[in-house]
Amino acid sequence: MTTYDLPTREFLEVLTSVLGPIEKSTIALHEPNIGPHEHKMVAECLSSGWVSSVGEFITRFENQLSKITGAAHVIAIVNGTSALHLALHSVGIKPGDEVIIPSLSFVATANAVAHCGATPHFADSDPVTLGLDPVALRKHLASATTQQGDDLFNTKTGRRIGAIVPMHTFGHPMQIEELILIANEFGLPIVEDAAESLGSYVGKKHTGTFGVCGILSFNGNKTITTGGGGAILTDDESLATKIRHLATTAKLAHEWEFMHDKTAWNYRMPNLNAALGCAQLDRLDKFLRDKRNLANKYDIALKSSESLEFISEPKGTTSNYWLNTVRLKKPNLQIRNELLTASRAKGYLCRPAWNLLHQLPMYDNSPRAELPVAQMLLSSLINVPSSANLGL
């Protein structure tokens, strides 16, 4: 019989008490919930013959998202990375620019910047929200940048800083209202990476709707899925028109001519994916209730832990609890890895936070602020099974 130290023992006890015995070989981190309603709508789309980038389900999906998020305009896109790439391009990010992003984020945030020919400029995280820290960012920008006319430049590299991309980590809203004040002070547009936070709010305002535009993701492991898919949200009508045009190969409307006026992309979501998304959105409220119920179970189970704590939604926000997260009270990378090894051996497919982006080989020479909190979070965070059906 294996003897575990205190953190590992407590972690396994929490997983067992919340999730119960493992009936299959494993309990996944986050599984899609696909039922008869989804099968019916996808079959309806197949029967219509409209399965590609034109069809009624695309319009319906965009309208549903507009109603849920409050965004005036929604453009359905093939995936979240493409959505962020197109959003950054559309707000004016050009080759040679820099874009502020958190180092603690999924690689797609940095890749979307790189796809624009720009360079990620890494900023630190807040220990409570896990998202970009506005106070630390302001201090960094004040010391590392120079204003020249309407543009902000990195004093060391000489490159223009074109935007800030905050990310709402694991579905928890970051301090977006505080960040807006800093962005306005330095004249930087905000493009929100809300890929993980469908159903998350600051007050009564949905994430992804604070900046010039924002993006969502509907990958197979998200709160709702379209298989692969994403969306861009904006209240700016002219920007929405531009984005929709660029996402559709910049084709000008004509009965038969193939006239395109810009170098653009084929980024529109297929109707077949949108049909699945419509069915999933019909069930979103239940998914969110079940996920909140699961989060409450984890929170209660961790109240008496000496070594671990639960990451709860920040004050004044509503989180979708996309991925429930446990934190070591004393950050320790070795102990974190021991918890992951032990839990996965039992069949609980937990995972760590992403490797910090500034440490990846393609970004290790990118500009950055001091990143002590991001490093601490890397050594202390573990995502635990979070599928909606586990909250029943």
Rounded to whole angstroms, the Cα distance separating 109 from 193 reads 7
**Residues 289, 277 within the same domain:** no
Do 371 and 250 lie in one domain? The reply is: no
Which run of H or E residues covers position 326? strand 325-328
* Residues 52, 193 within the same domain: yes
Q: Say whether both 294 and 250 belong to one domain.
A: no
N-terminal to C-terminal alpha carbon distance within the chain: 32
Same domain, 77 and 44: yes
Does residue 306 share a domain with residue 268?
no
Q: Is 289 helix (H, G, I), strand (E, B) or coil?
A: helix
Same domain, 233 and 294: no
Count of domains observed in the chain:
2
Of 77, 61, 184, 69, the closest CA to residue 134 belongs to 184
What gap in Å lies between CA 201 and CA 148, rounded to an integer?
35
Domain shared by 242 and 347, yes or no: no
Are 53 and 59 in contact by the 8 Å Cβ rule? The answer is no
**CATH code for the domain in which residue 132 is found:** 3.40.640.10
Nearest C-alpha neighbor of 198 from the set 189, 209, 187: 209
Residue 298: strand, helix, or coil? helix
13 and 52, same structural domain? no
In a domain, 1, yes or no: no
| Residue 191 and residue 91 in contact, taking contact as beta carbons nearer than 8 Å | yes
| Domain extent at residue 306 | 6-32+284-391
Residue 273, phi then psi, degrees to nearest 5: -65, -40
Q: Quick one: 221 and 309 in the same domain?
A: no
- pLDDT tens-digit readout, 114-141: 999 999 999 999 999 999 999 999 999 9
Residue 161 lies in a domain: yes
The number of residues making up the chain comes to 392
Q: Is 334 helix (H, G, I), strand (E, B) or coil?
A: helix
Rg (CA), the chain: 21
Residues in the chain predicted with pLDDT less than 70, given as ranges, are 1-3
Residues ≥6 apart with Cβ < 8 Å to 242 = 90
**Residue 201, phi then psi, degrees to nearest 5:** -135, 150
Quick check: is 195 in a domain?
Answer: yes
* Sheet of 381-383, strand order: 308-310, 325-328, 381-383, 351-352
Give pLDDT, residue 22: 80
Domain boundary among 282, 307, 326: 282
Q: What is residue 248's DSSP assignment?
A: B
Q: Is residue 11 located within the same domain as residue 48? A: no
Give residue for tokens 């453009």.
Answer: 75
Tell me the C-alpha distance between 276 and 224, whole Å. Answer: 9
Place of tokens 């590992």: 8
CATH number, domain of 309, equals 3.90.1150.10
Strand order across the beta sheet in which 201-202 lies: 205-206, 201-202, 317-318
Same domain, 277 and 288: no
Scanning the chain, the segments in alpha helix (DSSP H) are: 6-19, 36-48, 56-69, 80-90, 107-115, 134-144, 176-186, 237-247, 271-282, 284-302, 333-346, 372-378
- pLDDT reported for residue 2: 67
Which residues, including other chains, have CB under 8 Å from residue 287's CB and lie 6 or more apart?
33, 199, 223, 224, 280, 388
Exposure letters 106-143 (e unless 16+ CB within 10 A, then b): bebbbbbbbbbebbbbbbbbbeebbbbbbebbbebbee
Spatial separation of the C-alpha atoms in residues 323 and 307, rounded to whole Å: 20
SS (H, E, C) 336-379: HHHHHHHHHHHCECCEECCCCHHHCCCCCCCCECCCHHHHHHHC
Boundary residue ending a domain (282, 299, 329): 282
Beta-carbon contacts of residue 142 (< 8 Å; ≥ 6 apart): none
